[in-house]
Every structure is written in C-alpha cells, then in structure tokens.
Amino acid sequence: MSLGSVPLKYRIQIDRQQCMQCMRCVDNCSYGVFREEDDGNILIDSRKCTACHRCISMCPRDAINLSERPVDYRSHPLWTPEAREDVINQSRSGRIVLAGMGNAKDYPIIYDRLVLDACQVTNPSIDPLREPMELRTYLGQKPSKLDIRKQENGDFELNTKLSPNLELQTPIMIGHMSYGAISLNAQLSLAKAAAKTGTYMGTGEGGLHKDIYPYQDNMIVQVASGRFGVDINYLERGAAIEIKIGQGAKPGIGGHLPGEKVCTDVSCTRMIPAGSDAISPAPHHDIYSIEDLAQLVRGLKEATEWKKPVFVKIAAVHNVAAVAAGIARSSADAVVIDGFRGGTGASPKVFRDNVGIPIEAAVASVDQKLNDQGIRNKVSVIASGGIRNSADIAKSIALGADAVYIGTAALISMGCRVCGNCYRGLCPWGIATQREDLVSRLDPEVESEHVANLINSWTLELSELMGAAGINSIESLRGNRSRLRGYMLDEGTLDVLQVKPVGA
C-alpha cells in the first residue's frame, strides 16, 4: 500500500523487573494489546492501544507504563500530525471518520475564564454547615402569577392550575445515554445513582429495559425521530418525556446504532428488528416547524393525560436563543441545550470538532432572550455538554440554567477513561459495550455508589460556593450574572454572556 500506515499513538511498556507474569493485562485488554507467548513472556502490540487504562488499573505491580508517542513528522503549524493522519485515513478508506467522546479541539473553555464571586466584610457569607441551603430544583412551567383566594373558613385556596414539575434534590441530572450505546449494567448503575441522590437520568433513545423499571420514577424517557422503544407504556413509566431534536456532539445529524450492537435484548427494548441498523435520522419526519413540534409535545401530553412534563433537547447552535424561544411557546416544559463539548459514543469527527457553539454562550443567550420576551417562566433551561465539575455547574446556573445534565463525568466516575473508542463496542470498562464478558466487569452496586458520590460531592461543593457568595437558595443563583466576572474574555463574548469583566 503506497500510503503506508500512520504511526502508533500510544506506547505501552512493561517494567519487566516488576512484572510477575500474572497475565491480568492479557485478560483485561479487549483490544488485544497484550499476548502471552509460549515462554510465558508478554508480547506487546502498542498499535492496538486506545489508552483506556484498563491494564494499568488492573496490574497488581504497577508495572505498565503508557505514554503518548509523539511522532516525528516534520513540524508544521498548519499541517498538524492529526490533520495529516486524517487525510491519510480518509485517502485509504473514502469514508467518514468516526470519533467519540467530546470535541477534541483546543477551543478556549469559557467556564475557565469565568470566575465566581464570594462575600467579604461588607456582606456576610452563609455557612452551609449551620444554615439550610436550598438546592431543591423544580423543572417545568411556572405560572406568571398565582391566584390565591381566602375562603370563608380562613383557609387559603390556590386557584391557579399548576403544570406538572419534576422535583430534583440537586440541580444535577444524568444525561441521556441509551441502552445499546452503553451496557445495561452501566445504565443500571446510573439509574440506581439517580434514585439514591433524588435526581433523574435520561434513557436516551434506546427504550426502557425491564430491569430499569424499578427506577422508572427517576427516568426521563426520550423520544427521538426513530421512536425507538416508544409506546404508551414507556411514556407512562417515565417521570418526564424528552423529545430529542439534536445533541451537542453532532448537531444536525441523527443517531445510528450499528446492527452488530442490536442483540435480541436491545432489539426488544428498542422495538426494532434484531441485527439491523437502528437509524434515527436528524429530522423528525412529523416536525418541520415549531407548530409541528408543538403538535408532538401536545400529542405526548395528551397520551399521558397532561401529567408529565415534556422536555425538548436541542444542540447549541447559532440561532439557539430564537429556537429556544419557539420551544418555550410549544407547550414544552423545559428546553435542554447541549453544547458543542458534549460527548457521545460515536460522532463524525468533523461534526464533533466543528459544529455548534459553547454551552456557556448558548445558555446565557437563551436565558436572556426568554427574559426579554417575558416568557422565562414558561420553560426551564437545562444545560449540558462538557460539564466537568461543580464550578461549571454553578457558572451554568449563574448564566441562566435551572439544572444541568452530566454525561461523560458520570461515565468517568464508573471507570471510563475517555479513550474515545466507544463506537467499537469493546469498552474494557463494560460501559460502551454489549459483550457479556466485558459488561460483567461493571458491578452496578459498586458503580452506582461512585456515581452517587460524585453527585453528592458536587452538590456539597455547590452549597459551599453558594454560601460563599451569600446565597442560600439555588433560585437566587439562577441567571445571577452579577456573581460572575469574565477573565481574559473578549468584549463580544462578555456581551453575549452579559457578564462584566474582572475588576468591574
């Protein structure tokens, strides 16, 4: 082949002095990096390594070393090794390059250029240890005014009809990752964690497996264009329903689960034929306008007798604020905005890295637009896509979100090392795979504890951050941009965020 192969990305080395030849690395690597030779030696094929770190975690002797392998291309500021390797890859295959797990381009991270406020001398901070901190969050439409009447017997009566809301004990939810894309054990871990922490998680577009039924009160069931797994029982089981229009890692394109992953169980859960590709194209073929979206929102509400909130998820794109304002008028109860850092198992690389806008700007502009139009109460705003810590959450809320979805962070808390190879179905951590031996590596009891710990610790940190800012209720943080300052952000971005620069 005249093009030859591209150089390997990672180098695996074993410290032979340390190694006790237990062969755990051989057993654990689903990509086949390690092979036991007849003489008991271990042969390494670094070319197959994805940097998933499974071997390193399992090695009892800490004998394995993994390093990125800088390649000696002629250095060039434009033609980076990656750019050249993609060209080589595509010249050989003539295909679209698939990539996983979040935008990998070096865009500045706005979160890291926003700083939070804290009280000093002139106004008191609040000590979350002894003061109650209110992190409970309600998602859904809020009335613009309440009609309360005093009855003759002195009791008060609420005459306003309230819309159904979701009650969260923390503003942190777990985003939609479908059965099929991730394993049942992974979903179970997340579902248990959501139940333990009093929050919700999304089913993704993969339907609701019967093993998840015990956690259905903590599930938000998703309806995507292919309507996978959707029937009336599914809709009735969910605590809320989410219509997926777009997602941050691949705005404007749909979902596609390859046929190899559609085993009998996945087929029944998704309600699709076994072994065939599960295709849900970007457009819903009954939605071509906001009016059509309203039709689906109302159709879902009517089917469930107006008892459940309906969310609409869109990717953060250029005119996101206008789209969100339309959604707010469609009878939807919440709009989910997924920024361009959103992760996914498989996205065309060109989309993952180039399409969409940062979540920080999207949330701020949506919140602003809804406020300007006087309809902010009509819809809750949920931010997602690349949220890495509690500070990102506090900043998202201060920019105007009611709550956030976390995705990759939850996976990392279960073992994922963001190797970005989910689309191969060989995840050595038992997360993005349906291979039974790999799935069984993930213990839902243990991993749900880890996920719950993450949510709990972030919730604790959130109350500390709020207390430091003299805020004791999440409601007072929401859209409170005066608690943010921009550091090294340009004027245009500050203007969109409606945030002052540091020192101002």
Interacting residues toward other proteins by CB under 8 A: 89-90, 92-93, 95-100, 225-227, 230-233, 235-236, 256, 258-259, 267-268, 270-277, 279, 281, 285-286, 295, 298-299, 302-306, 346, 348-349, 420-421, 423-424
- 88 makes contact, choosing from other proteins, ligand SF4, none, with CB < 5 to 8 Å by partner type, with none
- 297 makes contact, choosing from other proteins, ligand SF4, none, with CB < 5 to 8 Å by partner type, with none
Binding map of ligand SF4 across residues 415-434, x = CB under 6 A, - = no contact: -xxxxxxx----x-x-xx--
326: how many CB neighbours lie within 10 A of its CB? Answer: 19
Helix (H), strand (E) at residue 195: helix 184-197
Enter the DSSP assignment of 136: -
Q: How far is the CB of 275 from ligand SF4 (least distance, A)?
A: 22
| Residues present in the chain in total | 504
* Burial 182-205, CB ≥16 within 10 A → b, else e: bbbbbbbbbbbbbbbbebbbbbbb
427 belongs to an annotated ligand binding site: no
- 277 makes contact, choosing from ligand SF4, other proteins, none, with CB < 5 to 8 Å by partner type, with other proteins
Compute the distance between CA of residue 391 and CA of residue 461 in angstroms, rounded to an integer: 8
- 99 makes contact, choosing from ligand SF4, other proteins, none, with CB < 5 to 8 Å by partner type, with other proteins
Alpha carbon 341 to its chain centroid, in Å, reads 9
- Residue type (1 letter), 180: G
Q: How far is the CB of 417 from ligand SF4 (least distance, A)?
A: 5
Q: Hunting for tokens 């009016």 — which residue is that? A: 291
- 399 makes contact, choosing from ligand SF4, other proteins, none, with CB < 5 to 8 Å by partner type, with none
Compute the distance between CA of residue 406 and CA of residue 363 in angstroms, rounded to an integer: 15
Binding map of ligand SF4 across residues 11-30, x = CB under 6 A, - = no contact: ---x----xxxxxxx-----
Is residue 183 at the binding interface for ligand SF4, with CB under 6 A as the rule?
A: no
7: how many CB neighbours lie within 10 A of its CB? Answer: 13
Enter the DSSP assignment of 134: B
- 283 makes contact, choosing from ligand SF4, other proteins, none, with CB < 5 to 8 Å by partner type, with none
Tokens coding 321: 């604020």
- 256 makes contact, choosing from other proteins, ligand SF4, none, with CB < 5 to 8 Å by partner type, with other proteins
- Residue type (1 letter), 455: I
Of 61-69, 112-120, 296-304, 455-463, which segment contacts ligand SF4 by CB under 6 A? 61-69
52 belongs to an annotated ligand binding site: yes
Residues binding ligand SF4: number (CB under 6 A): 30
416 belongs to an annotated ligand binding site: no
Pick from 49, 101, 166, 462: which binds ligand SF4 (CB under 6 A)? 101
Q: How far is the CB of 314 from other proteins (least distance, A)?
A: 21
Is residue 215 at the binding interface for ligand SF4, with CB under 6 A as the rule?
A: no
Nearer to ligand SF4, 103 or 330 (CB): 103
* Burial 265-285, CB ≥16 within 10 A → b, else e: bbbebbebeeeeebebebebe
Q: Which of 293, 484, 462, 304 is nearest to 393 (CA)?
A: 462
419 belongs to an annotated ligand binding site: no
> Under a CB-based contact definition with an 8 Å cutoff, are residues 466 and 398 in contact?
no
Nearer to ligand SF4, 20 or 148 (CB): 20
- 51 makes contact, choosing from ligand SF4, other proteins, none, with CB < 5 to 8 Å by partner type, with none
Of 55-63, 211-219, 327-335, 471-479, which segment contacts ligand SF4 by CB under 6 A? 55-63
Is residue 337 at the binding interface for ligand SF4, with CB under 6 A as the rule?
A: no
- 188 makes contact, choosing from other proteins, ligand SF4, none, with CB < 5 to 8 Å by partner type, with none
Compute the distance between CA of residue 376 and CA of residue 363 in angstroms, rounded to an integer: 12
What 3-state DSSP class applies to 394? helix
Q: Hunting for tokens 């919700």 — which residue is that? A: 200
Compute the distance between CA of residue 181 and CA of residue 185 in angstroms, rounded to an integer: 12
135: how many CB neighbours lie within 10 A of its CB? Answer: 21
Nearer to other proteins, 141 or 199 (CB): 141
Nearer to other proteins, 370 or 416 (CB): 416
Nearer to ligand SF4, 60 or 299 (CB): 60
Q: Hunting for tokens 């998704």 — which residue is that? A: 270
> Under a CB-based contact definition with an 8 Å cutoff, are residues 323 and 305 in contact?
no
- Residue type (1 letter), 399: L
Bridge partner residues of 336 (DSSP): 313, 382
Q: Hunting for tokens 């190899």 — which residue is that? A: 260
Of 58-66, 67-75, 320-328, 493-501, which segment contacts ligand SF4 by CB under 6 A? 58-66
- 276 makes contact, choosing from ligand SF4, other proteins, none, with CB < 5 to 8 Å by partner type, with other proteins
Rounded to 5°, angle at Cα 415 from 208 and 362: 70
What 3-state DSSP class applies to 411? helix
Is residue 48 at the binding interface for ligand SF4, with CB under 6 A as the rule?
A: no
Compute the distance between CA of residue 134 and CA of residue 128 in angstroms, rounded to an integer: 10
Pick from 33, 44, 64, 397: which binds ligand SF4 (CB under 6 A)? 64
Tokens coding 74: 């002629």
Please state the residue numbers annotated as binding site for [4Fe-4S] cluster. Answer: 19, 22, 25, 29, 49, 52, 55, 59
Please state the residue numbers annotated as binding site. Answer: 19, 22, 25, 29, 49, 52, 55, 59
Binding site for ligand SF4 (CB under 6 A): 14, 19-25, 42, 52, 58-61, 63-64, 100-101, 411, 416-422, 427, 429, 431-432
